[in-house]
Amino acid sequence: MSSTPTPAAATANIKPPQPRTKRPNYHLLHANPLPLTVIPFSPLIPHNPLSLLQILYTYLFCRSPCQPVPAYTGFFNPATRSVHVVETRSIQAFWNNGFFGKGSLSRSEPTWISRRRRALGVIGKNEDLTAEEITERRRQDRRQFKLERARAEKERIQNQLAQEGKIELLETGEGGSVEPDAAASPLVPLEGDDEDEEDALQDKPVVHVEDLEHLQLTLEEAFFLQCGLGALRITGPGPEENKSIEVCDALCLFRKHSYFPPLDETDLQPDDTFLLNYVVYHHFRSLGWVVRPGVKFGVEYLLYNRGPVFSHAEFGVLVMPAYSHPYWATDVGRKKNESKPWHWLHSVNRVSAQVKKTLILVYVEVPPPSAIEGLEVQHLLKKYGVREVALRRWLVSRNRD
């Protein structure tokens, strides 16, 4: 009579999850928060006069333009109402230093070329892993571990029932016993787990893969890089157009394309979608937050502490125009001052609460049209005020104390 395996032996058959794939050094790769070159001053030591001389030397002789030379380039595309960046140097600089833009063929980081080369066998399965591939592998390891754990638990229950004489088990060649149904359906391992990496690397094909992906900047991101940082040169429309678009022309162009279909310059209003969104974008970027589009969660922006590769977004930003100026109480401007229904705010707040994000209502004070006519960009933005209100969903079970 064969010995029945104990529950401890059945549990020991569970294969532990595979060790985590080594990630790139994100702290070194994303060390700079903005695509600018900054030379820090040496610390000032009060009891050491030489430290002041070193600061003066750095200020006088080590000064260099912080903007990139030559400037990063991109062209405006009216069809997508965005700025496309196709140069590899510009793409890497914008994503690695501030997480600007989105890959046109990727979820966020432009990694299409790496995934395509891996699919064609040009690189190994563990070379140049992207964040999406690392996440998918971890999910597969978790699913495999849960299947192994469920199978071990089923074997333990079957062995317990066999000891009580309630069922009969079949003998196996290894001295164990399994149920007939379990013996007929063995667990299929994940594809590629037993593949020899060294043998696969020896048969690498030499294939040239053209990178078809470009970086897509929103209008707010492109204007911040051009006007706020001076790191982007916008041309267009079209990649063949080499004429640069100045800051004042870009502001007018982006304002017109914030409507669909685009409006004429004479029909623009102070509460344009681009102006309101850019005021909020510039506000949080100047405070050190990494601002990303938040249309996935029904908000305008998501705020990251350092970036999407380090942690999830902590806050969702909802832009709310505020018409508190007396002009908007007149007959001409009263049509703008319309309130949102309560169920709309409840829906957005509930979505944010379910994904563990705090909803931030940002009220932008809209000036009258006469206050912004003929102003330059710097003076125009000063006419807008920003107020922040944090909104949390009240739950009885969590907020009882």
**CATH number of the domain within which 394 lies:** 3.40.1350.10
Asked whether residue 277 is assigned to any structural domain, the reply reads yes
Q: Active-site residue 384, yes or no? A: no
Q: Which residues contact 198 (CB under 8 A, 6 or more apart)?
A: none
Predicted confidence at residue 183, as pLDDT, reads: 42
Q: What's residue 180's pLDDT?
A: 47
d(CA 30, CA 394): 37
Give average pLDDT by consecutive 10-residue segment, the chain, 401 residues.
50 54 79 85 82 81 76 93 94 95 92 88 81 83 94 91 79 49 44 50 69 94 95 84 89 93 89 95 96 94 93 94 88 71 89 92 93 89 94 73 59
Long-range contact pairs involving 302-305 (C-beta distance under 8 Å, separation at least 24): 302/357, 303/360, 304/99
Q: Which pLDDT score is estimated for 165? A: 81
Burial (Cβ within 10 Å: 0-12, 13-18, ≥19) of residue 249: exposed
Torsion sign over Cα 15, 16, 22, 26: positive
Q: Distance from CA of residue 310 to its chain's centroid?
A: 10
Number of helical H runs and strand E runs in the chain: 13, 12
- Give this prediction's pTM: 0.79
Report pLDDT for 199: 52
Count of domains observed in the chain: 1
Main-chain phi, psi angles of 359, to 5 degrees: -85, 125
Query: Quick one: residue 307, left, alpha or beta (phi over 0 = left, psi -120 to 50 = alpha)?
Result: left
Is cis: bond before 70, omega within 30 of 0? yes
Catalytic annotation on 357?
A: yes
Domain containing residue 302: 269-401
The whole-angstrom separation of Cα 247 and Cα 227 is: 6
Q: 102, 327, 357, 384: which is the annotated catalytic residue?
A: 357
Q: Give me the catalytic one of 146, 312, 340, 382.
A: 312
CA neighbor of 246 nearest in space, from 223, 279, 276: 223
Chain position carrying tokens 């066999």: 162
Would you state the structure tokens that stand for residue 365, as one six-digit string? 């004070």
Domain for residue 366, yes or no?
yes
Which residues is 83 bridged to in the sheet? Answer: 76, 217
Has 281 been annotated as catalytic?
Answer: no
**In-domain check, residue 81:** no
* Candidates 281, 304, 327, 384; catalytic one: 304
Are 145 and 13 in contact by the 8 Å Cβ rule? The answer is: no
In a domain, 287, yes or no: yes
Q: Looking at 272-335, which runs of residues are DSSP E strands?
A: 290-293, 301-304, 315-322
306 belongs to a structural domain: yes
Please indicate, yes or no, if residue 307 is contained in any of the structural domains: yes
pLDDT at 209: 84
CA distance 190 to 200: 17
Q: What is the pLDDT of residue 6?
A: 54
Q: Is residue 82, in this structure, part of any structural domain at all?
A: no
